[in-house]
Amino acid sequence: MVENPLFFKVTAEEEGQRLDGYLVEKNILPSRSQVQRLIEEAKVKINGFPSKASYKIKALDTVSIEIPEPSESVLRPEDLPIDIVYEDEDVVVVNKSAGMIVHPGAGHKHHTLVNALLFHCKFLSGVGGVLRPGVVHRIDKDVSGLLVVAKNDQAHLALSAQFKTKTIRRVYKALVYGRMESQHGSFDLPIGRHPIHRRKMSTHTKRGKSALTIWDVVTAYDQMSFMKISLETGRTHQIRVHFSDAGHPVVGDGTYGGKNRAKHLIDPKLKQAVEKLPALLLHSENLTFQHPTTQKTVSFEAPLPSYFQDILGILNE
């Protein structure tokens, strides 16, 4: 269990944020609503006194938060096939298949990665709450590749701190439409909830959070580009939004314009293969972090899924 309470000292750079937003950024709890509930229950204090969610934090403020002991999980362990790349007493590194949701949510209570891990591991960190045990970060449902899951609270907090300080390295491979204007580049545009389509994210929002995506062209084809992408931040749909807004949607991405483009492909064999894709062509290939117990840097790789390799094979013919 996490020892209560946890303490944070506000820095000069953090001054001026709302209290609830500040704590959300700390990745202690998975959602703003849970943070706000703890604030309402007076389990969050500023310099020893209860405060409001809207309080603007000041430099040198001491913020304390009492994390309640996790309730008994209401999730059902399920014997689902998962590809475990590495496991020890603290962490599990999984190569998630496209189509699998990471954790239960509205309308998705079963058949998630968390359900599968509860069957395999029996115990996961309780910091994320009863619906997100062990979940330190996520990958979109239709994206494949690596993510790390915490098996205990200490590992969870240590990994969350690395995400906060941006010391965890995540490298993706993607196939996008069009040819990039240069061999290397980056997208540095804030991302937030789409002002009209609430299930989508967008760079055209007044309340976006900073998002930095760094990219290199691995191979340029006539109508597509094979990309290596590094994330400096972890916003929802970050890669998909940034590339789509730049006019280069990820191949197969129906949400951000990567499906309709298939009809413009010249090669009939490539066009047919792309139209039959089971998922978008975005894969978390490499994950590097400091192990929460040994403090050693560990790195893992996951090969591209077969349907991704098949498309590259056609392009290279």
State mean pLDDT over 149-159: 86
Q: What's the confidence (pLDDT) of residue 68?
A: 67
> What's the maximum distance between 2 C-alpha atoms anywhere in the chain?
67
Is 16 a member of any domain? yes
Residues 139 and 254 both lie in one domain: no
Strand partners, 47: none
* Domain-embedded: residue 242: yes
**Judgement on whether residues 150 and 178 belong to the same structural domain of the protein:** no
Check residue 1 and give its pLDDT. 41
Query: 174 and 113 in one domain?
Result: no
More confident residue, 134 or 314: 314
Q: Return the percentage of the chain with pLDDT > 90, whole number.
A: 55
Domain end marker among 138, 165, 192 = 165
Residue 30 has pLDDT above 60, yes or no: no
Read off the pLDDT of residues 195-236 as tens digits, 9 standing for 90 and up: 878 678 889 887 788 899 999 999 999 999 999 999 988 888
pLDDT at 315 over 50: yes
pLDDT for residue 67 is more than 80: no
Where is the domain boundary, 165, 180, 212?
Answer: 165
pLDDT of residue 157: 85
pLDDT at 122: 72
- Token pair, residue 46, equals 């500023």
Query: CB under 8 Å to 44, separation ≥6 — which residues?
Result: 19, 23, 35, 38, 50, 51, 63, 64, 65, 66
CATH number at residue 99: 3.30.2350.10
> Is the residue at 241 inside a domain?
yes
Is a pLDDT exceeding 70 seen at residue 6?
yes
Q: In the prediction, which pLDDT does 35 show? A: 84
pLDDT above 90 (res 131):
no
**Residue 225: beta bridge partners?**
176, 220
Q: For residue 130, is pLDDT > 60?
A: no
Residue 76: which residues within 8 A CB-CB, separation 6 or more?
Answer: 110, 115, 118
C-beta of residue 184 within 8 angstroms of C-beta of residue 215: yes
Number of domains in the chain: 3
Which residues are catalytic, by number? Answer: 140
Last residue of a domain, which of 165, 194, 217? 165
Q: Is 203 within a domain?
A: yes
One domain, residues 155 and 177: no
Together in a domain, 43 and 115: no
Average pLDDT, the chain: 87
| CA 306 to chain CA mean position, Å | 23
CATH of the domain at 10: 3.10.290.10
Same domain, 59 and 11: yes
Does 73 reside within a domain?
A: no
Name the more confident of 222 and 30: 222
The answer as to whether 72 is a domain residue is no
Query: Do residue 204 and residue 311 come from a single domain?
Result: yes
Statement: the pTM of the whole predicted model exceeds 0.85: no
On whether residue 276 sits in a domain, the answer given is yes
182 and 132 belong to one structural domain: no
pLDDT per residue as tens digits for the range 301-312: 999 999 999 999
* pLDDT band, residue 299 (cuts 50/70/90): very high
Asked whether residue 61 carries a pLDDT value surpassing 80, the answer given is yes
Domain that holds residue 53: 6-65
Does residue 137 sit within a domain? yes
Confidence label for 2 from pLDDT (cuts 50, 70 and 90): very low
